[in-house]
């Protein structure tokens, strides 16, 4: 197997990974960023960002991702694309296997982010046929149609509002009798006559011949089930950390987010974590870039000392 040695390997190419890569490369560390599919991460499926400081006019997720990629490249950050098959994090030399390549380094920063949680009602068979986790990607397919949305947090409400640009009606199903989202979003959703709140309810199934035609919703107080005729079902009920590839290598919290201290150091010396994959009170682009600047400088200090 081809083996290449670096100072630092960064796993994951969202805002956290790109920021860590930019800081580390600028600090003249020989750094490679390993990405499974395409850089950008979760922000690629974010339509419009109005709360990343420095962009008063707002910016699209893909545009911000492009800018961060360009900025990291200016300091000669290197890239490898592929799925991480094996990690060895203990000891002075860490190694990562991707296909027939082995990458080794003195330090590793994990910035693999997190993925949307599934409803587990068999929605997988409707992937690409009516079930979506991304209004930006799929919203335009539902012009003048009725859709169901699931969730009650910021993402669910923000994405439901976005859906109203296309759909004629959005039935927003939430298991409680009030939303968890920021007040400003709640106000906008409740004032939007294209959004119909389906309180105290959960989705229990969906059916259709070639794609979603009906979404079954159960009221958790009355146990009554109702079929809502809908061409699509958008699911925003939380996120899961992308940490399966790590096995039990690192100390995690109860939801399998990686525990890291104020220096972004994990339970293994020379291994750092930053961004959504970390156990943290808030997951925003702003917090991802803050974490990652710290992780890169911590990795530099660690490498200088080893």
Q: Which is nearer to a second copy, 112 or 287 (CB)?
A: 287
Plot region of 12 (φ>0 → left; ψ -120 to 50 → alpha; else → beta): left
Active site residues per annotation? 134, 137-138
Contact segment (CB under 8 A) with a second copy among 13-21, 82-90, 116-124, 217-225 equals 13-21
Is the distance from CB of 27 to CB of 76 less than 8 angstroms? no
Q: Which is nearer to a second copy, 178 or 204 (CB)?
A: 178
Is the distance from CB of 233 to CB of 123 less than 8 angstroms? yes
Q: Which is nearer to a second copy, 2 or 191 (CB)?
A: 191
Q: How many CB atoms lie within 10 A of CB 84?
A: 21
Q: Print burial letters for 122-136: b (CB count within 10 Å at least 16), e (below 16).
A: ebeebeeebbbbbbb
Contact segment (CB under 8 A) with a second copy among 23-31, 81-89, 144-152, 169-177 equals 23-31
Q: How far apart are CA 213 and CA 228, in angstroms?
A: 8
Is the distance from CB of 111 to CB of 275 less than 8 angstroms? yes
Q: Which of residues 34-53 bind a second copy (CB under 8 A)?
A: 50-53
**Would you count residue 64 as binding a second copy (CB under 8 A)?**
yes
Residues in contact with a second copy, counted by CB under 8 A, come to a total of 44
Among 71, 115, 118, 192, binds a second copy (CB under 8 A): 71
Among 38, 55, 91, 137, binds a second copy (CB under 8 A): 55
Q: How far is the CB of 185 from a second copy (least distance, A)?
A: 9
**Would you count residue 109 as binding a second copy (CB under 8 A)?**
no
Q: How far is the CB of 304 from a second copy (least distance, A)?
A: 9
Q: How far apart are CA 161 and CA 183, in angstroms?
A: 14
Q: How far apart are CA 210 and CA 204, in angstroms?
A: 19
Backbone CA torsion sign across 258, 261, 263, 265: negative
**Would you count residue 305 as binding a second copy (CB under 8 A)?**
no
Contact segment (CB under 8 A) with a second copy among 60-68, 79-87, 133-141, 224-232 equals 60-68
Q: How far is the CB of 251 from a second copy (least distance, A)?
A: 15
**Would you count residue 215 as binding a second copy (CB under 8 A)?**
no
Show the site string, 154-193: x = touches a second copy by CB under 8 A, - = not: ----------------------------xxx--x------
**Would you count residue 247 as binding a second copy (CB under 8 A)?**
no
What lies within 8 Å, CB to CB, of 277 at 6+ separation is 12, 16, 110, 111, 112, 113, 114, 241, 242, 243, 257, 258
Is the distance from CB of 126 to CB of 206 less than 8 angstroms? yes
**Would you count residue 262 as binding a second copy (CB under 8 A)?**
yes
**Would you count residue 56 as binding a second copy (CB under 8 A)?**
yes
User: Between the CA of residue 117 and those of 123, 223, 237, 240, what are the distances in Å?
Assistant: 12, 24, 6, 6
Question: Where does this chain bind a second copy (CB under 8 A)?
Answer: 15, 18-19, 22-23, 26-28, 50-56, 59, 64, 67-68, 70-71, 74, 182-184, 187, 262-263, 280-282, 284, 286-294, 297-298, 300
């Amino acid at each position: 197997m081809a083996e290449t040695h670096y100072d630092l390997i960064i796993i994951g190419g969202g805002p956290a990974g790109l920021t860590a890569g930019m800081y580390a490369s600028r600090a003249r560390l020989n750094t490679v960023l390993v990405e499974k599919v395409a850089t950008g991460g979760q922000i690629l499926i974010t339509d419009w960002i109005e709360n990343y400081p420095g962009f008063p006019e707002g910016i699209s997720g893909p545009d911000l991702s492009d800018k961060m990629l360009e900025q990291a490249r200016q300091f000669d950050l290197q890239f490898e694309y592929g799925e991480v098959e094996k990690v060895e994090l203990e000891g002075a030399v860490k190694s990562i296997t991707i296909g027939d390549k082995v990458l080794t380094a003195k330090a590793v920063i994990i910035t693999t982010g997190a993925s949307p949680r599934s409803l587990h009602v068999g929605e997988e068979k409707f992937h690409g046929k009516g079930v979506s986790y991304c209004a930006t990607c799929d919203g335009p397919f539902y012009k003048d149609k009725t859709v169901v949305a699931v969730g009650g947090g910021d993402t669910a409400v923000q994405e439901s509002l976005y859906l109203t640009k296309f759909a004629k009606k959005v039935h927003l199903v939430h298991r409680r009798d009030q939303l968890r989202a920021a007040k400003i979003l709640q106000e906008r959703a409740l004032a939007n006559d294209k959004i119909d709140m389906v309180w105290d309810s959960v989705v229990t199934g969906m059916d259709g011949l070639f794609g979603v035609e009906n979404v079954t919703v159960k009221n958790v107080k009355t146990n009554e089930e109702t079929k809502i005729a809908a061409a699509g079902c958008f699911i925003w009920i939380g996120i899961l950390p992308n940490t399966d590839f790590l096995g039990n290598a690192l100390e995690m919290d109860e939801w399998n987010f990686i525990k890291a201290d104020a220096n972004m150091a994990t339970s293994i010396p020379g291994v750092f974590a930053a961004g959504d994959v970390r156990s943290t009170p808030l997951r925003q682009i702003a917090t991802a870039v803050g974490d990652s600047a710290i992780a890169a400088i911590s990795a530099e200090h660690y490498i200088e000392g080893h």
